[in-house]
Amino acid sequence: MKLVVAVIKPFKVDDVKAAVQELGMQGLTMTEVQGYGRQRGHTEVYRGAEYTVDFVPKIKLEVICEDGEATSVAERIIAVARTGKIGDGKVWITPIDDVWRIRTGEAGSDAL
Amino acid sequence: MHIDSGDTTWVLVAAALVMFMTPGLALFYGGMVRAKHVLGMLMQNFFCLGLVSVLWAAAGYSLAFGGDNAFVGNFAFAGLHHAVRVAPAGFALTIPPLLFMAYQMMFAVITPALITGAIADRMRFNAWVWLLTLWSLLVYSPVAHWVFSPSGWANRLGALDFAGGTVVHINAGIAALACVLVLGRRQGWPNRPMPPHNLPLTMIGTGILWFGWFGFNAGSALAANGLAVQALVNTHLAAAAAMLSWLVAERAKQGHATTLGAASGAVAGLVAITPCAGYVGGMAPILIGAIAGIVCFFAIDLKHRFSFDDSLDVVGVHLIGGITGSLLLGLFADKSVNPAIVHEGLFAGGGVRLVWFQLVVVVATLAYSFLMTMLIIKVLDKVLPGGVRVTEEDEEAGLDLTQHSEVGYSLLT
């Protein structure tokens, strides 16, 4: 099994969720996160005092799926979350050793 | 004594309006500090309603309005025994004297509350309690006597202050500077970012202040008459013009018109019109507001230039705004607006006399308030166990947790 992780622009979260659902994924976890990449941060000014804010708000999505599905999930996310401007985020895939559903104790693919 | 029911009604309402300004100020400041200090800031302000009200009834009112000495009141009204029916010397009141006491009480409450913006995030609550007590009795009451009591020397001189440009804003503003010089800077200032944590709170607070200021300035007519109307109109127009001029200056210098700029500009205009409210008319309030907005916009840079951490710009807005308004009154004071004016302003054909008198009272207020506040806070720093400032560790953890054992925002409950 694979874990697909995506860090995206917050306003894209609904579109990405819908796209991932269309692919038949049963679950998705989102977290509000802050970070920076090449986009870097922005500047805020309060009564003339300038602050550089390095961390930009983003949404982190996590989807667990079968090995064969991971690439298509990642590609769908890339297609939907892309604006073409700097700061669109990242997607990556990592292997998962095992997974359980807490309610029933089912393991592996049955737990998805 | 003739009691007018219309006058009484208006001043009753005005007293309630001015009372509401202190919680408004708490929100105005509270939004500007970091989240871990928000309750500390709200509490320092809100607490004034508790402590100063009781002090005012016990002795403060009497020290401000008792007797006919030129420099300070006496204890004739202490405990409010005679304040119910006896008007203070020199006043021809058409409202019950006790209402005058109550109305002035709200001024006494909000004035020291203004100081809290400068000392944000680093004073021990216990130290604030003592500072508030001593400052109210030893600084606020005497200065109020000089200016507001007809027997006070500033009043006799012919200097003008309709609703407290000197007594409230210059007095609190220079006291704030004295406190900052003794307390020192917040840890990390000015290198570490300390952005406001909740500007919506600040905007709500600004709205409440603006609303309450009608009671502050128009109520100072102490009557429901044309002068009160003029003061209300002046108050509103000055706030409006100052908001615009601040935003224009800000947009030109920094590229954006900000909400904090709109709020700060409005308050700067309200401060500057306070001494002038019942003495000017026509387009004067718009000019006074517009000038104050620009002057204060540039004045908030003073703290960076001279490296003092006036955290929320009490000096830049209240001190400089108060001085601006008090001196501009020397130009704009107009007898056709208020026949009680003895010396008219320069532009009304009165020459430079009033400008000079205004300057004298401004300088006297600056000197007295600065020296007394310095003395009080230095003594407190020596006498109080632990001094006036919180420990480095407590400052880092925040006033909310360390001074009050609470937190302002809890996301997981």
Domain count, chain A: 1
Where in the sequence is the domain holding B212, given as residue range(s)?
5-199+208-394
CATH number, position B166: 1.10.3430.10
**pLDDT score of B218:** 98
A46, A50, A53, A55, best to mutate vs chain B, most B CBs in 10 Å = A46
Domain count, chain B: 1
Q: From the CA of B310, how many Å to the nearest CA of chain A?
A: 12
Where in the sequence is the domain holding A65, given as residue range(s)?
2-111
**What residues of B are in contact with residue A42 (Cβ under 8 Å)?**
none
Would you state the structure tokens that stand for residue B185, as one six-digit string?
């800077």
Instruction: Locate the chain B residue with the closest alpha carbon to A44.
Output: B195
**From residue B291, how far is each of B42, B55, B100, B221 by CA, in Å?**
31, 37, 32, 25
Phi, psi (degrees; rounded to nearest 5) at A86:
-60, 140
Q: From the CA of A3, how many Å to the nearest CA of chain B?
A: 27
**Record: contact A46-B300, CB cut-off 8 A:** no
Within a 10 A sphere around the Cβ of B405, how many other Cβ atoms?
8
Does residue B407 fall inside a structural domain?
A: no
In DSSP terms, A50 is beta-bridged to A45
Residue in A45, A48, A53 nearest the CB of B301: A48
For B287-342, the pLDDT digits (tens) are 999 999 999 999 999 999 999 999 999 999 999 999 999 999 999 999 999 999 99
Residue in B196, B301, B304 nearest the CB of A46: B196
**pLDDT score of B385:** 95
For B100-155, the pLDDT digits (tens) are 999 999 999 999 999 999 999 999 999 999 999 999 999 999 999 999 999 999 99
Integer Cα distance of B313 and B152 in angstroms: 30
Q: From the CA of B113, how many Å to the nearest CA of chain A?
A: 21
Residue in A45, A51, A53 nearest the CB of B254: A45
**Record: contact A51-B301, CB cut-off 8 A:** no
Phi, psi (degrees; rounded to nearest 5) at A52:
-90, 120
In DSSP terms, B52 is beta-bridged to none
**Record: contact A47-B253, CB cut-off 8 A:** no
Q: From the CA of B195, how many Å to the nearest CA of chain A?
A: 7
Q: From the CA of A47, how many Å to the nearest CA of chain B?
A: 7
**pLDDT score of A53:** 83
CATH number, position A49: 3.30.70.120
Does residue B399 fall inside a structural domain?
A: no
**Record: contact B195-A51, CB cut-off 8 A:** yes
**pLDDT score of B98:** 97
Residues of B with CB under 8 A from a CB of A: 190, 193, 195-196, 250, 253-254, 256, 258, 260-261, 264, 300-301, 304, 313
> Does the pLDDT value for residue B268 go beyond 70?
yes
Does residue B222 fall inside a structural domain?
A: yes
**Record: contact B260-A46, CB cut-off 8 A:** yes
For B55-94, the pLDDT digits (tens) are 999 999 999 999 999 999 999 999 998 999 999 999 999 9
Integer Cα distance of B168 and B77 in angstroms: 22
In DSSP terms, A94 is beta-bridged to A3
pLDDT by residue, tens only, chain A of 112 residues:
999 999 999 999 999 999 999 999 989 999 999 999 887 888 888 998 888 888 889 999 999 999 999 999 999 999 999 999 989 999 999 999 999 999 999 999 899 8
**What residues of B are in contact with residue A53 (Cβ under 8 Å)?**
193
Look at residue B282 and give its three-state secondary structure: coil
Looking up tokens 């001593």 gives B134
**Record: contact B253-A51, CB cut-off 8 A:** no
Residue in B195, B196, B254 nearest the CB of A48: B254
Q: Are B136 and B107 in contact (CB under 8 A)?
A: no
**Record: contact A46-B195, CB cut-off 8 A:** yes
Residue in A45, A51, A52 nearest the CB of B258: A45
**What residues of B are in contact with residue A49 (Cβ under 8 Å)?**
190, 304
